[in-house]
Structure 1
Amino acid sequence: MDKDIKKHVVKTGTSTLGIVCKDGIVLAADKRATFGGEGGVSYIAGKDQEKVQEVTPYIIVTTAGTASDTRKVIKLVRAELRLKELKSRSKPTIKQAANLFASIAYQSIRTPSIIPSITHFLLAGYDEEGFFLYDISADGFLQDISNYASSGSGMIHINPILDSDFKENITLEEGIELAKKCINASIGRDPASGEGIDIYVVKKDSVKQVVKQKFDLVPRDQ
């Protein structure tokens, strides 16, 4: 019974990344969701997943792991941050948001369940202290990232490119092109990633989607 449940759980499979640039932060992700099958075989469950989610108007996250758990955590953090804002009459900081994600991830994965709560987030935002990129792993470990990070099944294809092509003081424009290169490479090799690319940028005055690219891999009759 447990195996039957687990193989029908929707996972985001995933290739996601974050790049710290001199004038902002780039977050990117693919668009495929999968069912985890037996023997390590995955089946496509969705082809238009939004794996970059807004938390507040100035904070965004990428999602990897079990789809329902990542969405649940985001909803909880949104609510908690809103309550903090109402009580303190000031905007929560990026660090406070990251700590909330980490705390929930830490507690969730240690709660006994038929379906373990597996979530991995890359969080980016801007506040009075500057730009921040955080890596929040499934066990609740929180890292402040100064250059770049990736998550998901596609990271083994993304990291070598980031290692070789990233440079200090990279611009947002260069970061966007590097993100495209990384996600495209992962989609070509990782069966749990695919369908398209979403890229967002965090600037001092805005969070904006700059790329929304959908791949049509099935030939159509003319």
Structure 2
Amino acid sequence: MSRRYDSRTTTFSPEGRLYQVEYAMEAISHAGTVLGILAKDGVVLAAEKKVTSKLLEQHKSSEKVFQLSGNVIAGVAGLTADANSLVNYGRNAAQKYLLSYDDDIPVEQLVQRLCDMKQGYTQFGGLRPFGVSLLYAGYDPHHGFQLYQSDPSGNYSGWKAICIGMNNGTATSLLKQEYKEDISVQDALGLAARVLSKTMDTTTLESDKLEFAVLLRDTKSDQPIPHILTANEIDRVLKQHELAKTQEAGSSNAMSVDA
């Protein structure tokens, strides 16, 4: 029955469904896990990288986490090419706002602009929905730290903790059990690492398979501080929470440790 209605994004099935949007959601469910946690002093994003190679330049080949503006970081799950297009659109929107008003764009306003674009691709013929879902970690003076999620239909919602991508059901259950209202960024990093250790296919976590980002706030200037963690910083987080890959005897000193 679906074949009569899934060739165009503008055709509803008799049940009122848009199959192309559902197909895009299915593509996201097979992507690497991405989760976000809203803490009392910041926001944490963590993601599983599917494409790993020692030949990749880590700082020039981000797959899951992108900085959209000075106050917003995004994590993506789905088709990377679609994500790159949306990331560029979001960056342009943020810079236009900054040029016009000399201030960072409000987080929800940036989310709305991206979702308006995503919804438009489900409304006109000759287009297909973006096969990507995004998490937005942001800060503005009016609403403080915020965490949003959007899907291919253009719908978005605010969350305290959320997971998208593969095994999101398992991750969401773990977040429900362990999330606390007064959680700190450091504890949120540990919680994110523990959840990923349960949802990833591998039994050990390594920095080249993960991407972490945090959004903090300078208490003196009230300005947001976005930061995407380096491989060494991810290794320290994993070691701190006893999730790092166990090294063989005789090579324990091979990894540098920065106190």
TM-score normalised by the chain length of structure 2? 0.66
Amino acid at match of 2:226: V
**Correspondence for 1:168:** 181
Please list, as runs of the form range in 1=range in 2, the aligned pairs for 1:194-209 lying within 5 A after superposition.
Answer: 196-205=209-218, 206-209=225-228
Q: Return the letter of the residue paired with 2:227.
A: K
Contact preservation (8 Å) 2:47, 2:211 = yes
In the TM superposition, residue 180 of structure 1 has moved relative to its aligned partner by 0.3
* Higher deviation after alignment, 81-90 or 54-63: 81-90
Which protein is richer in strand relative to its size?
1
In the alignment, which of 64, 69, 83 is matched to residue 96 of structure 2?
83
**Alpha-carbon shift at residue 108 of structure 1 (Å):** 2.3
Aligned-pair Cα RMSD in Å: 3.0
Identity of aligned residues (%): 22
Match of 1:139 among 134, 137, 153: 153
* Partners of 2:116 and 2:127 in 1: CA distance: 21
Q: Deviations over 1:146-180 (max 9, x none)?
A: x2011112312311211111112111111000000
The answer to whether residue 72 in structure 2 is matched with residue 98 in structure 1 is no
Tell me if structure 2 keeps the 8 A contact 1:53–1:61.
yes
Structure 1 residues not aligned, in runs of 5+: 1-9, 35-45, 217-222
Structure 1 segments of 4+ aligned residues over 6 angstroms from their partners: none
For residues 73-100 of structure 1, what are the alpha-carbon distances to aligned partners after superposition, in whole Å with 9 as ceiling and x for unaligned?
A: 1101111221122122322111111111
Tell me the distance in 2 between the aligned counterparts of 1:49 and 1:56.
Answer: 16
* Cα shift at 1:114: 7.8
Instruction: Note the alpha carbon deviations across 1:28-49, whole angstroms, 9 max, x for none.
Output: 1011159xxxxxxxxxxx9975
Aligned length: 192
Distance in 1, Cα, partners of 2:196 & 2:137: 18
CA contact (8 A) 2:34 2:47 kept: yes
- For 1:165 and 1:89, locate their aligned partners in 2 and report how far apart those are by CA, in whole Å: 40
Report the counterpart of residue 41 of structure 1 in structure 2: none
SS in 1 for 2:152: coil
Question: What residue number does 1:150 align with?
Answer: 163
Deviations 1:124-147 (A, max 9, x none): 1111121111111121111022x2
2:40 equivalent to 1:26: no
Letter aligned with residue 64 of structure 1: A
Instruction: Point out where structure 2 has 5 or more consecutive residues left out of the alignment.
Output: 1-26, 219-224, 236-243, 246-259
Greater Rg, structure 1 or structure 2? 2
What does residue range 7-18 of structure 1 map to in structure 2 within 5 Å?
A: 13-18=31-36
Normalized against structure 1, the TM-score is what? 0.76
SS in 1 for 2:217: coil
1:156–1:195: structure 2 CA closer, same or farther, 3 Å change rule? farther
Q: State the AA in 2 paired with 1:55.
A: L
Distance, in Å, in 2 between the alignment partners of 1:113 and 1:33 is 31
Contact 2:71–2:104, Cα closer than 8 Å, also in 1: no
Shift of 1:58: 1.9
